[in-house]
Amino acid sequence: MAHPRLLIIYTGGTLGMCPGDQGLTPSGNIESRLAKAFNQLPLLQQQALPSFEVLSYPQLIDSSSATPDNWSQLAHDIAKRLSDYQGFVVIHGTDTLSWTAASLAYQLQGIDRPVILTGSMQPLEAPGSDALDNLYWALRCAEQPHVKEVAIYFHGKLLRGVRATKQHSEAVDAFTSPNYPLLGERMGDHVVHYPGRGLADQQRGAPRFELPDYTSVSDGAIVRLALWPGITAWQLASWLEDPRVKGGILQLWGAGNLPDDPALFAVLAKASGEGKMLAAISQCPQGSVHLGAYAAGKGLLDAGVLSGDDMTPEAAFGKLVHLLAQPIPEEDRRRRFLSSLVGER
């Protein structure tokens, strides 16, 4: 009997939840539940279903509880099973699915086979659920050898994992890729892959996995600050001057603007001078920051703040976590942040 080609890793999330006394909760017995669900597919789809095995985590989580330690565990589990499977599908809750996808992309750099994350807005057994359709097509994408990166399949769309973000809290079309085109789309009984958009077309070479220990950055070492009108220097300092903070993502207005307040820039310069890695992205879902394009943002460069270009919050945050977890010189960290490692910018 041939070895299963794919591995499904079940981490929890809405797809596998069942009703409980306190509402929907992560539930087990996923293998038999998937078998029952797949038997409900049309015969042609059942025949096209690739062979797979299931790895179910003993502690299932609602993805709102996910941490960098969970990202690290998942990357290690994929890396140590790489030679056993042609592709991987990760069942994950939607709330932080794109955060996990971004982190996996940095940890599994140069991966030579598909890692497809998916989930659903409704549980597997719920009437009219999107779970079975998402999972079936994620498996179909995971058997495609020309997909050589971490991606998300959701509601007919295949997106680069490190470019995706969740855009809707209720709709089944929950994910978008605001600054990068889709890798592929479902059309009829196939997923059409667009040439030139995948990492396999853009980067060459053997896998160069980086699997650092994320423990040092798992306890709030990286902060995320979105500006608001009236923000003051003492408010910014209350975050950045904490000795436990090692880095931060600043979500600025427009193309990289913040109030023209010397005290704010002084706080940023002090933190950066202490070796804290600060990066700026836009609060706008689409477009890039251009630090220095406006007088109100020019002081950021002088303060040592790095440009996050057009990265999503997930991509920028995950990149800081990944770089700050590694024992490399600060100059290398800053250079690598400003470079595109996995097509994230």
Q: Which residues are catalytic?
A: 14
Q: State how far Cα 344 lies from the chain centre.
A: 10
Q: What is the DSSP string of 175-192?
A: EE-TTS--SEEEETTEEE
How many residues belong to the chain? 345
Q: Which of 73, 71, 27, 30 is nearest to 52 (CA)?
A: 30
Which residues on neighbouring strands pair with residue 341, listed in sequence order? Answer: none
Distance of CA 115 to the CA centre of its chain: 12
HEC string for 260-309:
CCHHHHHHHHHHHHCCCEEEEEECCCCCCCCCCCCHHHHHHHHCCCEECC
What the block records as the tokens of 245 is: 């903070």
Listing DSSP states for 25-91 in one string gives EE---HHHHHHHHHTTS-HHHHHHPPPEEEEEEEEEE-GGG--HHHHHHHHHHHHHTGGG-SEEEEE
Q: Are 156 and 150 within 8 A, CB to CB?
A: no
Strand pairing partners for 55?
9
